[in-house]
Amino acid sequence: MRIDKYLWCMRYYKTRNIASEAIKKGHVTVNNQTAKASREVFTSDKITLRKDQINYKITVLDIPLNRVGAKLVDMYRKDETPPEAFEHLELLKLSKDHYRAKGDGRPTKKDRREIDDYIWEEKDEDAKKDE
């Protein structure tokens, strides 16, 4: 089975096109060699792929005939990704949310007015200091 089709079957990518684009960009290696989208995958191959800032390490156990359900994925691959990679992703998510609570979204009109008032107050204070 082709590597792009295998990654699509294993639900790492939503479409085969996205999988082949990731392979072209060099995000996927098979047995420590950069792969092309047409490369064949065999059992016991070791695949490394980078997705969402995580380096996934997979060992191929079996080749599926078609795309498999999410619950059946573990029958066809062994995930050897270290747990530290997922912890690192959580830290990245937390660092991005440090200034605004999750779910607050864009500033409301009230928030925007408060920001504008704060900026104008600082400009007025700076203007008074310059005089």
**CB-facing half-sphere around the CA of 115: CA atoms within 13 A:** 7
Is the CATH number 3.20.20.150 carried by domain 3-96?
Answer: no
**Predicted local distance difference test score (pLDDT) of residue 131:** 66
Q: Write down the domain spans for the chain.
A: 3-96, 100-131
For the cut 90, the answer to whether the pLDDT of residue 105 exceeds it is no
- Residue 64, C-beta contacts closer than 8 angstroms, at least 6 positions apart: 1, 6, 9, 10, 76
Query: In this prediction, what percent of the chain has a pLDDT beyond 90?
Result: 50
**Are residues 95 and 87 in contact, defined by beta-carbon separation less than 8 angstroms?**
no
Token digits of residue 57 = 């390490």
For residue 7, give the nearest of 54, 55, 44, 58 by alpha carbon. Answer: 58
- Residue 69, C-beta contacts closer than 8 angstroms, at least 6 positions apart: none
Q: How confident is the model at residue 110 (pLDDT cuts 50, 70, 90)?
A: confident
Mean pLDDT of all residues in 37-51: 91
**Predicted local distance difference test score (pLDDT) of residue 93:** 76
Mean pLDDT, the chain, as a whole number?
Answer: 86
